[in-house]
Chains A and B, each alone.
Chain A
Amino acid sequence: MKLSNEEQEILAGKSGPVPQQALQHQIKVGEFFGAEDLVPVTQAHIMADTESLGEAGVRWLENLAATAEGQRRVRVPTITDPRGTDFTKAAFLGQTSGMLDLERRAIAAFVELGVLMTDTCINYQTIQAPIRNEHVAFGDTGVVIYSNSVCGALSNFEGGPSALAAGLTARTPRYGFHLAEQRRASLHVRVDFAPTSLNAWGALGGMIGRLAGNYWAVPVIEGIRDAPKSDELKHFGAAMASFGSIALFHLVGVTPEANRLADVATADLPSHRVTRADLDAFQKSYHTDDRVDVVVFSAPQLSLFELRDLAELCAGRQFTVPLLAVTSPQVKPDCDRMGYTARIEDAGGTVLSGMCFYQSYAREIAEAKGWKSLATNSAKLVNILGGYGYQPALASMEACVDAAVSGRLARP
């Protein structure tokens, strides 16, 4: 890779061992993908829940944080994805003191490195959305696909170590979605209906993710005429990224790089069609058991608007099974202030902040609480939790709230 004078000095250790180690990591990854050089970035976003880090990852962070003051701080605003707990609700979740100690150690290390503990996977709604052509280094696949597709920013999936490296060096290897040629569509999908619920948007995203199949594929979608809402594209993109490892999509006439199909696609792309019947079959495939042990709204964290809708559905209800709603630390105070938290919790639900359900020791929670059958309106969550021993069902927010009352999920 071609390195600037400044980069050569970092690599030689003139800025200290932490940026040096970060750049060594970036060069290893960059050379694997044939990157010619590094590109400056303006923001980084780190996924680093302690279930993923483990003791080994936390020690690794602590070693970086123990470096001398002045040689260990990030150089651009660097923020965090959800943590592995909401400390105020850890006892309810059955999380152990060992899990919480690991969390505290990781947070302390990140603070020493100058990282801002925002603990959110919806930073494009809550912190600062990137703008078109802005190079960033974002973790969390849902954040990347939304930033690339809806905002027109440029990012690869940056796992925790690489996002932190980008924060420490203020650059990232220039490959993949930092290059114009990688942002052209590689498959065409025609949709002849508009989803009308968040779970349906997620299901459509999941189906397109499966069709696309791998990280380097870029779907261009035709047939969505009216501009979707931010929360709809949030679920759509998060599910597409989850099911297919997809980092960028184009919606013709909606997203910024695809005013017309010809802007991003040639006429000979492989083409697919997704119908409403396909979507119904996809959702039904996850409804294998009517019994519900727990209802979870999470993945991505809920916006204030989603919480408002949920609070309205909870008014006057009384739940027989737990209902969890997970949001960001930026949204939670407004949720409290608007009375939504009280309305959800008066019905027997719990509003959690700064975590995400699947990033919070979901397997151990299932064992501690005896939860197996789970209802959610998040297609991303149903995709993930199958591997954690859950039997997840995908349904509308309304049906999930009804299930929290009756303990059974109605079939549409």
Chain B
Amino acid sequence: MTAKIFHARQAMGRVVRGPALVAHDGFSARYDLDRIAGVFSRPSHKLAGRSYVGKILVLDTAKGGVATAWMLHEMKSRNVVPLALVLNSVNPILAQGAALGDIPMLAGFGEDITAAIPDGAEVEVNPEMATITVVD
């Protein structure tokens, strides 16, 4: 089977591989997460109740306030953190948070990346090549 590769316009961080957690919904560490339990907690979020720990999050866009810039760093210190962030579009806060928290991140695709990546698929994020690849 041929691997499916998708190219991002913006990329940051190192190569990682893991399971994708996918939804066409937004992302804000403050608004959407129970950061202690490591799950999405906003009742209206499409991933409500699901764990993000060790997952490559594939979502639509960054939402909400500026707290995510600190929170990714704090979540990383406790290892209750996504493995990588992949979004159709990001705001500066998510980029600033990924830079401080050392979380690999891709953003900006030629198609809706949340429709292209199956939920649960094993994927590789390669920021040097600015790609996400479905590997199974």
Contacts and interface: CB of A to CB of B under 8 A. Distances in A.
Contacts of A33: 10, 92, 95
A159 B62 contact: no
Nearest to A59: B77
B89 A216 contact: yes
A241 to B, nearest CB: 8
A161 B70 contact: yes
A388 B34 CA distance: 8
Given A55-B77, A384-B30, A32 B62 contact: no
A161 B66 contact: no
A139 interface: yes
A57 B30 contact: no
Contact of B69 (A28, A161, A242, A387): A161
Interface string B47-73: 000000000000001111111111101
A215 B70 CA distance: 19
A245 interface: yes
B66 A54 contact: no
Nearest to B32: A387
A273 interface: no
Contacts of B71: 52, 54
Report, nearest first, the 6 A-B pairs whose CB atoms are least far apart: A159-B69, A54-B74, A56-B77, A215-B91, A387-B42, A52-B70
Interface of A: 25, 28-29, 32-33, 47-49, 51-57, 60, 139-141, 156-162, 176, 213-216, 241-242, 244-245, 358-359, 363, 383-384, 386-389
30 contacts: A29-B96, A33-B92, A47-B66, A52-B71, A54-B70, A54-B71, A55-B74, A55-B77, A56-B74, A56-B76, A60-B73, A141-B65, A156-B92, A159-B96, A160-B69, A161-B73, A161-B96, A162-B69, A214-B61, A214-B62, A214-B89, A215-B61, A216-B89, A244-B63, A383-B31, A384-B64, A387-B31, A387-B41, A387-B45, A388-B41
Interface of B: 10-12, 26, 28, 30-34, 41-45, 61-71, 73-74, 76-78, 89-93, 95-97, 99-100
